[in-house]
Structure 1
């Protein structure tokens, strides 16, 4: 067991990092706040003082994972390739954290500035009409949410295929359709 952290040294960022490690190892359903506190070398009460519920912690974990997977479009970068890379980055990062997808998808911190506006702007700059951009953005969002929330990796239909490759093919298909 690690050395006990004092109240002054324990912080929300450390708690989120330790939780993400446990989620990678055990999945969202396989870890508890008690295990997290033990991993941190802190009392359960100290952990709850920083993040009052497991749901609040998972919301912060979802935000941290999203923030790690999303990056701004760079000057000179091909917009649709950037968008495909963003979607696949999020898919792979969430695949490493079983059960966390629902906390990224429904996180209240997600604002139009985070996701919707950049995706819409990329689609418009790539020649999509306003209606096509709205429809394509919605379809892409629903497709990714479905892939993340389903047990896609273990589906009999894709048993011999790479689920990530199938998701990437679906994203290419969606972005190529108008």
Structure 2
């Protein structure tokens, strides 16, 4: 029946279908439904979009991308200013009171110098320990394999990010 609606039946097949429909009430009902459904699609042609639709959509996408780039840049600038101000102003305000107290008392200055010397000694010991660990790792025979593995992993991660994000997404705009 659908082949008949699509005009794909030969003369023999069409006459056989007509004979069958004449004798089968169930198929006649189905044929009526199929004709009705086909008539719904045979109405007026679909409206075609404006020739400027693609141009307008792409212009809007470009405007949105420009706005997002400006917003992202503004947010980065704002956060940078907040971080820098936080790193400069907060310590200045927080240390202004204690600095006045420390500067006016020689005993406090002496104790503070002692604490700073002890902290420097601890940091020097930690730096020596880190140097020894680093030397032991570098001197081990498996370091070359570890470096090759780390470089391969980094290359694969960058390759994956490029595939996921799309070409040109890792370049600065």
Q: TM-score, normalised by structure 2?
A: 0.20
Structure with bigger gyration radius: 2
Q: Which has the higher contact order (CA 8 A, sep 6+)?
A: 1
